[in-house]
Structure 1
């Protein structure tokens, strides 16, 4: 009897060891698969958005012309890959409930447009809404998430901006609706970046990545102005910066705080961006938006008419040294180290060991800045490069200089 019991115990141990080995192998496979899973939007998306210029009339001809201008202007070479086709492109649904484009606006269809962009090394973003109708009262995707996601994939779409007009105000419904579309995109057979656009009231930075988003808007739509001071409506550049500055812990590869469109080059152009006294900004203010959005890892998408943009806007959009901060592989959003009535000072570490420092003068007049890097947590001596002057301006552990009204100085610090 003892021999029989020992034999049973031996077999039991052997079988359990096999089971343990199988479980361990499955665990390793799962870990390797997870590690190899592609991170969508490993750096913030860059491109051009149709809304401010085309509003309710996006169309095939103008979109193609805009893509051509992005190539010829050097924007694509600088990293702007996407054309983001915003609201009002839709033409309803066909007899099988497939969403379709307005045949008058897009006579060749969306797939042909995507193919055109892809041939130029670009990508197509498209728009829908987590409700029956969009903000412009066009066909949206609620209860058609899987069908629409498959349609977008079949067209060659690379990004979906998912708005939240005509939807309930509570957080749980938003999480459910965004999660449903994110899952549909994952099952569509194509990598499609998912941008959550509920404008910030439900604090999507707390849950956006969990439900499957790669970015989330932090505020309502930006207007062509520096700041909304009196709370009369219309978010300005600094309103967005001030809000996003407190959200650094939520930002990283594949999960970005989205500050909405770049407004450089608009100069008060009539349209959505001119609402709520959006009468245009100074060169320093437009430049500051580019600088601070790059420091804060916001997606960068221009919104002026690229076909007609002036040299000022082109210079702002194509500053490759500023763009390099936004696209840095480490993906760590800058932290605001100083905030006073006059100054905001931001610091971010970079993948190669350098640091970027941005100094914003929030006042309406020129101010003299005295920045001691040690007070920012940077204790060494550094080679200081001014990224708007494109030159090394010294080797030191501090910087003193003038900053004009609403100007942002941006320095790249290399340890010496």
Structure 2
């Protein structure tokens, strides 16, 4: 097992593997003897030394993905790319190092190669009610994170405020990153049942408190009208309209060292109506259980239920497993049933059944390749077929 998440667990870090801090640690610590780029690898030590002196660290990556479907309503192929720069700057802290604060940032350029970006490929081309890849859109330049992170007492209390991404802390689990693990939204935040269309870049705040070594609480509020492409306007919409998504999560783990690996949590949420987004007010509940057995096998069961609020699904249940989620080469298998929200789609649609299998492997320490296949029965927006297969190939290079 690599050190990428073990360090986070000791620090009681309950945040997504796709969050800036966890992505930085994963990039730095996944050092299996597969590297061919010694010159590139040498930058890791240089950045580490610079961080120790200044408190500043930044990485960049390029992500590219293509998907092809067998039965569609429009195009058979979709492809997109994303360039990201992400990092942190620790600015204050006590002498013992138990409390610190600083800026966290991430800006991106998300772009399409084909007629539709992969976020739209599922609903527009395949006829799937939902997202077969939720983060590969065509927004071009955008600010996803620009917030202050403050921790106290060895991360027993953590507070975020600023321009945040709600998927960094709501209903997270070890295979929740669409950049490195499952693609489909049904295996990500809320299994597709979180309301407000949860903008992944919006003004808001989050508070995480450890009640004891086994129980933690996470509460948050974000502006549902926020736009990552116009982040400078978010303070205005947040304070003038004050239409928000609120979440409260309680979680249990066997101990601080198992926070990410042996985790059960429940989340409740409520969202206001938004004229700008075009969604009704709503509420819902989410549940998740993931448990590491041995050193590599991690089964999971996740699901949620929603009443209006702009959620994609009224109900959704996912189950599956990952093998070697901490290592450089990871297998993931997931199954899902979902019922598209009549409130969101404006009509009653048929239930969908989804499976996804992916295998991520390291080409070198700084490059990853992930083939995948998604099988969909009853694609709800494609009445021409009862079944379609979607094959994908994802590439990531980071520095």
- TM-score, normalised relative to structure 1: 0.30
More strand by share: 2
More helix by share: 1
Structure whose alpha-carbon radius of gyration is higher: 1
- TM-score, normalised relative to structure 2: 0.31
